[in-house]
Every structure is written in structure tokens, then in C-alpha cells.
Structure 1
Amino acid sequence: MSTSLASAAGRTSQCADAATTVRVWDVPTRVFHWSLALCFAGAWLTSDSERLRDLHVMLGYTFAGLIVFRVLWGLVGTRYARFTSFLFSPRKFASYVKSLITRKPEHHLGHNPAGSVSIFAMLGLGVLIVLSGFTVYQDIGGEWLEEFHEVAASTMLAVVFVHIAGVIVSSLLHRENLVRSMVTGSKRGAPSDGIRHTHRTVGAALLVAVLGFWWAYQSGTADAWLPQPTATAGERTDRHHDD
């Protein structure tokens, strides 16, 4: 009798924990996520426009800065932002994919194994895109490097679509809106598993840095400390007045 009551109480407690909303994603992680998505989308849409070339370059620089920030935050950030929280073995990845196929998905409060693969892939591709884009901007490497830059960007776009599809599938199977959680920072979980600090100050500083850089770039202030393309340095003197 007492054993049954204890078991029932345990199940009730687990259900209560599962229904509790806890903070998982800190503010810097969320600001990074949406800022990177905006920069990549904007850079992709302006990649073939000569008239919008400066906007493309500005977004590229921002994209680079965001990646640097994410690498640092992956080392010193909060629990679920750190790389160590979503380093999964191939066996864990296979087990998670199998759980999706059988419609009995393993629940991960932070990044799941499939999501972690896409995150590392996007960060790695992001580095290649930045390095190749900068050398192309400096007129170094020739046409092959420009093609490499385009291939890297196209590959990342494919990874982004796979990532979005994975988010949709996981949201449906887990019955949890993962997109909303990256906006609010909250998910269902046990109270003890939530993060204590959201680091709003760091998140605000990151947003101010992004917006401040955009202002400096558009006003021409950033020209004093940003490297200029060697082949067209003279042409960029009046780049903000061409239109």
C-alpha cells in the first residue's frame, strides 16, 4: 500500500516538474541566435547586388563578430550555452535519431544531439564564409576563392533549412514550441535544471555593439579602423554618397 502511494507520488512529482517552466537560454545566446540569422539572411539576399555591396560587407563583418562572440560564450557562458553541454558521441546521436523515428523522442532541456550537429556545422561553415569573404573583399585568391565563398554560403543555407526542419519536427514530437523558447528563453523542465542568471547586461551590450557597428559603418566612422580593399580603396572614399 505504502509502496503504491510512494510510486504514485513520485509520478505526480515528475509530472509537476515536467510542467514547470524554467529558464534555459540566457539573453546573450538569444540575441546571438536571432542576430546571426538576420545577418546571414541579409547577406544572402544582397550577395548578388553590386548596389547593395556595402550592406553585404557590413552584415559580413557583423556575422564574423557574432561568431567570435559565440565561441567565447561557448566557453564561459551559462550551462546550456557552453559547448560542453552539447558535445554528444556518435552513439548518442544515433540513439536520439532512433528515438525520433520511433516517435519516442528523448527529451533534452538544452540542445539535443541532432541540433548540436547543426550548430557546430553552422559555426564551422560560418568561419569558412567569413575568411573566404574577407579575402575576396581584399581581391585576394582569384575567382576560385569567390566560388568557394559561394559554395560555403550555399552549404550553410542547406544546413539552416535542415536545422529549421529539425526544429519543427522536434517541436511536434515533443509538443513544445522550440522557436518560442528561443524567444522567451524558457522551456518545460525541473526547477533545479534551470539557469540562475540570464546575463541581461551582456545581452544588451551585444545588441548595442551590433547596432553601434551598423551606425559606424553606415556613417563612415568605421572606415578609420576597418581594413579597406586594396584594389578599390580609392573608389570607397565616397561610398556613402554614391546613391
Structure 2
Amino acid sequence: MPVKTWDIGVRFTHWTVAGIVVWNLFGPTDQAHRVLGYIAAGLVACRFVWGFLGTPYARFSAWWPTPAHLKDYVRSLAAGKPLHHLSHNPLGGLMAIALWLLILALALSGWLMRLDAFWGEDWPHDLHTVLSIALEVCVCVHILAAIIMSIWTRDNLIGSMLTGFKRDPADKR
């Protein structure tokens, strides 16, 4: 029986930020790029707040990747029997945090590039470029991991971020 895991706020934020990231990584760097970058940062900030106030599976308390959780999860992967999580698994949680921090850092570095104080300076642009490459790598790893884990665990992680439902761990398909 499926379990309602991801609320509409989590799913809306996820897919909207994903769309903005794809647009900003591959689209033109114009006024829309800047505005969309700030919108993405704002949505990440909203998702951060939702991590404290949101529905049970959206809260950090449901999925924060502590060292103990990471250790147990990596051991389960190494044993070939990944632990099932209704919320993010510990590695997925770590990736979510990394993606959010990169998006916020990109917004900050983009804003710095526009300040008069840094006119003619190369480092804000260079930093923005390095951060965007790091975000591209993390996005690719995130997508690949979601596909691999969906196949391995028979738990359609991408589908669950569309529908909001995940497989109940008691369902031993």
C-alpha cells in the first residue's frame, strides 16, 4: 500500500527549482537568468523553513543525515540490502543539502558580480562558474542515483516526487 510521503509544497519546490536550475545552466545569462536564480534561492529558503514546520516526511527530523545514519545506510548498501526510507535516505539527504547550499551560494555569487564594489574583479565570476560546475555534477549524480536506486530497490523515487506516494516498507514486492 503506498504511503503519502511528499506533500505538494515539497514537490512544487523540487520541480520548480529543478526547472530553474536546468534553464540557468543551459540557457542565456540575461536578466531572466538573474531573476530565476533569485527565485530558486527564495524557494530553497522556503524549503529550509518547511524542513522545520512542514509535514512529517518533509521535516529535517525525518531525514537529517547524521553520521550514524550515514554509516548504517552505507553498510546496508555494501551488503546489497539498502535500508528503506519513507523520506530521504541519508545519502539523498546529504545530496539535498549540497544542492541547496550550491543554489544559495550561486545566488550570492551572482549578486556579488553585480555590485559596484566588485566591478572589474574576476573572482566573483570565477566563483560563480566553479559553483555552477559543481551544481551540474551534483545534479547529474542526483539523477543517476535516483534512477539506480529506483531500479535496485523497486521503489520509484522519481515517480514518488511526482505523485507524493512511496512504497510502504512492509510491502515486500
Matched, 1:31 2:12: yes
Contact 1:39-1:59 at 8 Å conserved across structures: yes
Taking structure 1 as reference, are residues 39 and 140 closer, same or farther at Cα in structure 2, changes over 3 Å only?
farther
Letter in structure 2 aligned against 1:69: C
Within 2, Cα distance between the matches of 1:83 and 1:93?
15
Taking structure 1 as reference, are residues 53 and 176 closer, same or farther at Cα in structure 2, changes over 3 Å only?
same
Letter in structure 1 aligned against 2:71: A
Within 1, Cα distance between the matches of 2:147 and 2:127?
30
Please state how far the C-alpha of 1:190 moved relative to its aligned partner: 6.7
Taking structure 1 as reference, are residues 105 and 190 closer, same or farther at Cα in structure 2, changes over 3 Å only?
closer
Matched, 1:114 2:91: yes
Partner of 1:40: 21
Structure 1: 4+ residue segments shifted above 2 A: 137-141
Partner of 1:66: 43
Partner of 1:148: 127
Contact 1:25-1:81 at 8 Å conserved across structures: yes
Please state how far the C-alpha of 1:62 moved relative to its aligned partner: 1.2
Within 1, Cα distance between the matches of 2:44 and 2:116?
23
Report the aligned-residue RMSD: 1.6
Paired residues in the alignment total: 168
Equivalent of residue 128 in structure 1, options 86, 90, 105: 105
Within 2, Cα distance between the matches of 1:91 and 1:25?
24
Please state how far the C-alpha of 1:61 moved relative to its aligned partner: 1.8
Partner of 2:64: 87
Structure with higher Rg: it is: 1
- Structure 1: stretches of 5+ with no match in the other structure: 1-19, 192-243
TM-score by length of 1: 0.65
Within 2, Cα distance between the matches of 1:111 and 1:139?
41
Contact 2:146-2:157 at 8 Å conserved across structures: yes
Taking structure 1 as reference, are residues 185 and 147 closer, same or farther at Cα in structure 2, changes over 3 Å only?
same
